[in-house]
Amino acid sequence: MLTSEQKRDQLAKLSALAELGGGEARIAKHHEQGKFTARERIQKLLDSDSFIEFDKYVVHRNSSFGMEKTKYLGDGVVTGIGTINGQQVAIFSQDFTCWGGALGAAFAKKICKVMDFALENKIPVIGINDSGGARIQEGVDALAGYAEIFYRNVQASGVIPQISLIMGPCAGGAVYSPAMTDFIFMVEKTSYMFVTGPDVIKTVTHEEVTKEALGGATSHNEKSGVAHFKCEDEDDCFERVRELFSFIPSCNKAKNTPKLTTDPVNRANNKLKNFIPDNSKKPYDMKELIVEVVDDQHFMEVHRDFAKNILTGFASIGGIKVGIVANQPSFLAGCLDIDSSVKAARFVRFCDAFNIPIITLVDVPGFLPGTVQEYGGIIRHGAKLLYAYCEASVPLITLITRKAYGGAYDVMASKHIRSDINLAYPSAEIAVMGAEGAVNIIFRNELAGLKGAEFDKKKAELVLNYEDEFANPYRAAELGYIDEILLPEETRKRLHQYLVALKHKKHTLPDRKHGNIPL
């Protein structure tokens, strides 16, 4: 029988063995690739000394293909709880040094256990993915493990924030768990996501493509929109995750705590006095307007490299945390298209799920025309953004800075789809379409018989008259569709006042299982 001291020694040895993962040689190789180990990642991401590990000594029970000869304590994944900025989180970190991070039944069971803990205790869950995929030796047990995780992703959706960090390969069925989480972070040059890899693609379609071009951080941030953040290295990734947690709550029932700031709430936005160009066709950078208005010039942009014609991200105004959606006139004139509609819709739904007020800044000339958009389903995809805004029950504040034309005016959180407060600058233009297009339709017969200089003079006169009549916010204000026309330098002060007024907003949704968003 072991003595008390011997039992202590036994625990220390087993603990040290578990912490070695796949062994020192594999750890060294991992480091050579510029990657941290599963445990190092947890230590770097979480607050110091906050990590409490679950299931440190779990091993697999598989005896097929000689698997019983190789067992690692923890079975290739580190799970537990800790804190980020003092906020409790659950976490799992896949260990590539153990069978290349391949998922088996015990591995999956550990992840499911920590996800269940997160959901029951209403705390966010973070998954650090670095895996070659399913553990082939375990066959259908590995596939069952993935499905158990997918099911929990869906149950947790909209209840607790789910964050995925891709810090190595993530392929095949493994990609669908991150895909169902709220935000995906990827690291340049070292992380990859794809359903089928380059070798399979070459065999089936004869296309030759590298891992980086197929599923690297740049591809998924700029082209597919699968990932939300592209990070320079793993340390940068950890900092970005900690930044994100300064804006989001622990669960859908948690009250949003104020964000500390010393930025005076009544600070005048003098930079904005003449910021909007008089020429309505001249672009400007909406991001500059956002940075001028929010606390400490801190705007955490989400999906920065994807669908650049719309901006989404987090900020605070007077310490009140908000989500911001804004058309970007400096890219595609701020038109709505397929990608921007889906990008904004997803962000609006996240903010609504977690009770984060939404500020919408509008400068939109309409939906992007063309066969590519129509054949790609702009009607269906544009409807996603409309649906998201109509469904949202959080405080909604809309500010029209310049153009708000046609159906895009309706979609961008207009008063008619129940935005709480609708504001406009004096430079706002609210109309069915731009002056030139409207004149071509309304006065088609009148202009038909004119040619040359006479035609140009008459059309210019009609365009000017139309602009005087409709290229302003006053007709909409007369009808009560605009609550206030404010000077740009008052933007920050007014937005804060309205956010305070809407603090206790309650909106009851229809009694239904769920709506049928046009997916």
Predicted TM-score (pTM) of the model is 0.96
Mean pLDDT of the chain: 94
Which residue is catalytic, options 18, 344, 408, 471? 408
Has residue 32 got a pLDDT over 80? yes
Rounded Cα distance between 106 and 104, Å, is 6
User: Which among 34, 177, 46 is positioned nearest to 96, based on CA atoms?
Assistant: 34
Q: Residue 212: which pLDDT band, with cuts at 50, 70 and 90?
A: very high
Give the fold, CATH level 3, of 270-433+471-501. Answer: 2-enoyl-CoA Hydratase; Chain A, domain 1 (3.90.226)
Q: For residue 73, what pLDDT is reported? A: 93
Q: For residue 509, what pLDDT is reported? A: 86
The yes-or-no answer on residue 408 being catalytic is yes
- Which amino acid belongs to residue 91? I
Proportion of the chain above pLDDT 90, given as a percent: 79
User: Which among 72, 14, 85, 11 is positioned nearest to 46, based on CA atoms?
Assistant: 85
Q: For residue 457, what pLDDT is reported? A: 82
Q: For residue 247, what pLDDT is reported? A: 98
Q: Residue 366: which pLDDT band, with cuts at 50, 70 and 90?
A: very high
Which residue is catalytic, options 158, 197, 225, 407? 407
Q: Which residues, 6 or more positions from 220, have their beta carbon under 8 angstroms from its beta carbon?
A: 184, 186, 193, 226, 227
How would you class 98 by CB atoms within 10 Å of its CB: exposed for 0-12, middle for 13-18, buried for 19 or more? buried
Has residue 59 got a pLDDT over 80? yes
Instruction: Indicate the SS3 state at residue 379.
Output: helix
pLDDT, tens only, 380-401: 999 999 999 999 999 999 999 9
Domain spans, the chain? 4-245, 270-433+471-501, 435-470
pLDDT, tens only, 155-177: 999 999 999 999 999 988 899 99
Has residue 66 got a pLDDT over 80? no
Rounded Cα distance between 401 and 395, Å, is 19
The architecture that CATH gives domain 4-245 is Alpha-Beta Complex (3.90)
CB atoms within 10 A of CB 215: 27
Q: For residue 438, what pLDDT is reported? A: 86
pLDDT, tens only, 315-332: 999 999 999 999 999 999
Segment holding 213, helix H or strand E: helix 211-215
Rounded Cα distance between 40 and 93, Å, is 10
Has residue 255 got a pLDDT over 80? yes
Q: For residue 341, what pLDDT is reported? A: 98
Which residue is catalytic, options 173, 225, 319, 406? 173
Rounded Cα distance between 320 and 356, Å, is 9
pLDDT, tens only, 469-515: 878 999 999 999 999 999 999 999 999 999 999 999 998 889 999 99
Section 224-235 average pLDDT: 97
**What percentage of the chain's residues is helix, strand, coil (to nearest 5)?**
45, 20, 40
Rounded Cα distance between 275 and 288, Å, is 9
Section 82-92 average pLDDT: 97
Proportion of the chain above pLDDT 70, given as a percent: 100
Domains 4-245 and 270-433+471-501 share a fold: yes
User: Which among 267, 325, 264, 261 is positioned nearest to 489, based on CA atoms?
Assistant: 267
Q: For residue 71, what pLDDT is reported? A: 86
Q: For residue 126, what pLDDT is reported? A: 98
Section 187-192 average pLDDT: 95
pLDDT, tens only, 5-21: 998 999 999 898 888 88
Q: Residue 60: which pLDDT band, with cuts at 50, 70 and 90?
A: confident
Q: Residue 445: which pLDDT band, with cuts at 50, 70 and 90?
A: confident
User: Which among 425, 435, 436 is positioned nearest to 476, based on CA atoms?
Assistant: 425
Rounded Cα distance between 9 and 16, Å, is 11
Section 56-78 average pLDDT: 86
Which residue is catalytic, options 172, 197, 319, 437? 172
User: Which among 259, 238, 143, 141 is positioned nearest to 185, based on CA atoms?
Assistant: 238
pLDDT, tens only, 88-109: 999 999 999 998 898 999 999 9
The yes-or-no answer on residue 173 being catalytic is yes
Q: For residue 474, what pLDDT is reported? A: 94
The yes-or-no answer on residue 86 being catalytic is no
